[in-house]
Amino acid sequence: MRTVSIIVPVYNVERYIDKCLRSIINQTLQNIEIIIVNDGSTDGSQNIIDKYASKYNDKIISLRKENGGLADARNYGLRYASGEYVGFVDSDDWIEPDMYEKLYKCAGQKKADIVISDFIFEPDSNVVHTNIAEGTSLNLTSHPSLLLTEASVCNKLFKRSLFTENAIEFPKGKLHEDRLAICKLYYFADNIIYIREGLYHYLKGRGNSITTSVNMKKYNDILISLESIYCFFEEVNYTSQISKDLDTLFVNTYIAFSMKAIRELKSSKEKEKFLNNFRELILSKTSYPLYLDSHNKKYSRKLLLYLLLHKRYHSLKLLMRVKKILRG
């Protein structure tokens, strides 16, 4: 059995994939398998994959499939994984040479189901640390604030049995695919450990990335994602300890995506429909939303929430203009 299976979904990233694969091949942890899933690329990505697969055929499993999106590619890769643990690297990012050695060593020493590291946001090389205790055994019951940490699977190492024994998959065809999967993985994990060190380089602001484009699906799918998260926790009869942080997660996401929509969406009709739908979701799925967000007591956040819930969208747009002017 391999120690770690690393799954790399690929779709039209010929400008970035060489750096990504080079960083994985050069990992100091030796007994790994690299599962590359070409999700229907139409550029030269496969040529680069073939070059690596030929040279490192003892480590690389090269797979090809029709385009189904990031979630589908990850699910496909998981079917071929044999490692005790599994990690995920997006093909336009790269990792530190000792990332998986450090995560796997920590997992073994602490008998961890999940090990979390920090992101290094590029191109500024800015490390953002997670606001949870380092080196302490955590789980969702004892530390429900885990729900408020970065939802990505890419800065983490997971015991593969979490996926197989609990039938966890990424939601096919949906954006924000990590959010529901992470909630489930946290719920079923008994022991989660955090390492306060930036090990994963995340490239922000890539021009044709879905996260930087103005795409209505990006907005509609966040509503579906939160609805799915709510339904999951209802099914497992979540505790009152989790309830407060789940509410906070919903409100934080509501503020962030509503402000993005006000700033980005050009169609007034689409914008108002999205904002109203999100408002209804928040009012129906949370308790006393005006008094939430105890993890961030800034008055400005409470003001934004108040204006959103009272549909003062024009006032919010004016606030953003003033903020932009003050910033120069």
Show Cβ contacts of residue 296 under 8 Å, excluding neighbours closer than 6 positions: 252
Query: What's the pLDDT at 180?
Result: 97
Please name the helix (run of DSSP H) or strand (run of DSSP E) that holds residue 8, with its range, or none.
strand 4-10
- DSSP state at residue 81: -
Identify the bridge partners of residue 87 per DSSP, sorted by sequence position.
6, 157
Report how far apart, in Å, the C-alpha atoms of 315 and of each of 303, 311, 320, 321 are: 11, 9, 9, 10
Instruction: Please check whether residue 27 is in contact with residue 101, taking contact to mean a CB–CB distance below 8 angstroms.
Output: yes
Please name the helix (run of DSSP H) or strand (run of DSSP E) that holds residue 75, with its range, or none.
helix 70-80
Report how far apart, in Å, the C-alpha atoms of 199 and of each of 136, 225, 307 are: 19, 27, 38
Query: What's the pLDDT at 326?
Result: 74
Which residues of the chain register pLDDT less than 50?
207, 210-212, 295
Q: Residue 179 CA to chain centroid, in angstroms?
A: 6
Q: What is the dihedral of CA 272, 275, 277, 283, to 10 degrees?
A: -140
Instruction: Please check whether residue 59 is in contact with residue 33, taking contact to mean a CB–CB distance below 8 angstroms.
Output: yes
Query: What's the pLDDT at 298?
Result: 66
Query: What's the pLDDT at 22?
Result: 98
Tokens coding 263: 């700033």
Q: What angle, rounded to 10 degrees, do the helices at 177-188 and 216-235 form?
A: 20
CA angle 234, 193, 191 (to 5 degrees): 50
Q: Distance (Å, rounded) from C-alpha 314 to C-alpha 307? A: 9
Query: What's the pLDDT at 43?
Result: 97
Query: What's the pLDDT at 120?
Result: 97
Query: What's the pLDDT at 295?
Result: 45
